């Protein structure tokens, strides 16, 4: 086991570093153009049902099931090719890689993502994110339940997690408590979800976009008040 780092930064991917809502929209338009609007709606119903079953987004698994329903199994293979050939680097949020580079000055940066074992790693590689974190990529089914494995692989005195979901941030904070600083990035379709605001406490730091990480210093993550003792910091 390597010696613990003073601080390790954990980055979510979808709608944190990369605009996954736009990927979703591009795939929706492609399916609608090839198969029609009703078929696109059928695909997304399949996708949502599979996500509820598995606990993570599985685009390729949903395509496999869609293939059996769409009436054209040969052309359905093109949908998988569309995703595997997709230029994910074009969907990085402005300043995403710069934010990783900036925080790398203070401690190791690690991708901590949910996802499947084919498309999610490809997304992280093609986008340039894997190179930015020097190959430190962890992909789980429910990442907030895998913190013992995270700490074993990347031991640290303190952790900072950057994510677009208050649910995930709260789950991790409950486990790691003062050992963790939570950073909520208001991007994507969870940015202004009123139900999440009502159900979960605020993050310790809240940012309007990922690029704002470049404005913070190491001390900003270590001196922020604990939620319950004070309010989170909005930027």
Q: Residue 2: its pLDDT value, please?
A: 65
Q: Are 204 and 233 contacting, i.e. CB atoms less than 8 angstroms apart?
A: yes
Q: Quickly count: other Cβ atoms within 10 Å of residue 64's Cβ.
A: 14
Class of domain 20-88: mainly alpha
Domain assignments of the chain as residue spans, ordered by start: 5-19+92-234, 20-88
CA 215 from centroid of its chain's CA atoms: 21
Query: Please, what is the angle between helix 59-69 and helix 73-84, to 10°?
Result: 170
Q: Residue 3: its pLDDT value, please?
A: 82
CATH 3.40.50.1000 fits 5-19+92-234, yes or no: yes
Query: What global pTM score does this model have?
Result: 0.92
Torsion region of 188: left, alpha or beta (phi above 0 gives left; psi -120 to 50 gives alpha): left
Q: Are 135 and 121 contacting, i.e. CB atoms less than 8 angstroms apart?
A: no
Pick from 151, 170, 128: which is nearest to 10 by CA?
151
pLDDT, averaged in runs of 10, over the chain (235 residues) = 87 97 97 92 94 92 87 77 96 98 98 96 98 98 94 97 96 96 93 88 96 96 70 55
Q: Residue 231: its pLDDT value, please?
A: 47
Q: Residue 202: its pLDDT value, please?
A: 94
């Amino acid at each position: 086991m390597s010696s613990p780092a003073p601080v390790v930064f954990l980055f979510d991917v979808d709608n944190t570093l990369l605009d996954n809502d736009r990927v979703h929209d591009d795939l929706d338009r492609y399916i609608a153009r090839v198969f029609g609007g009703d078929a696109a709606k059928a695909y997304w119903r399949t996708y949502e049902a599979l996500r509820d079953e598995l606990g993570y987004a599985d685009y390729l698994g949903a395509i496999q099931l869609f293939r059996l329903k769409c009436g054209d199994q040969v052309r359905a293979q093109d949908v998988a090719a569309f995703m595997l050939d997709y230029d994910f680097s074009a969907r990085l949020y402005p300043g995403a890689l710069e934010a990783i580079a900036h925080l790398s000055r203070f401690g190791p940066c690690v991708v901590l993502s949910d996802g499947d074992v084919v498309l999610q790693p490809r997304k992280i590689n093609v986008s340039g994110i894997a190179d930015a974190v020097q190959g430190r990529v962890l992909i789980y089914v429910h990442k907030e339940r895998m913190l013992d494995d995270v700490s074993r692989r990347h031991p640290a005195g303190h952790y900072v997690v950057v994510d677009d979901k208050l649910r995930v941030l709260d789950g991790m904070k409950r486990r790691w408590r003062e050992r963790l600083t939570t950073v909520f990035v208001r991007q994507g379709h969870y940015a202004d979800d009123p139900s999440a605001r009502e159900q979960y406490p605020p993050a310790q730091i809240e940012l309007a976009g990922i690029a704002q990480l470049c404005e913070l210093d190491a001390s900003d993550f270590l001196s922020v008040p604990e939620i319950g003792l004070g309010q989170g910091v909005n930027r």
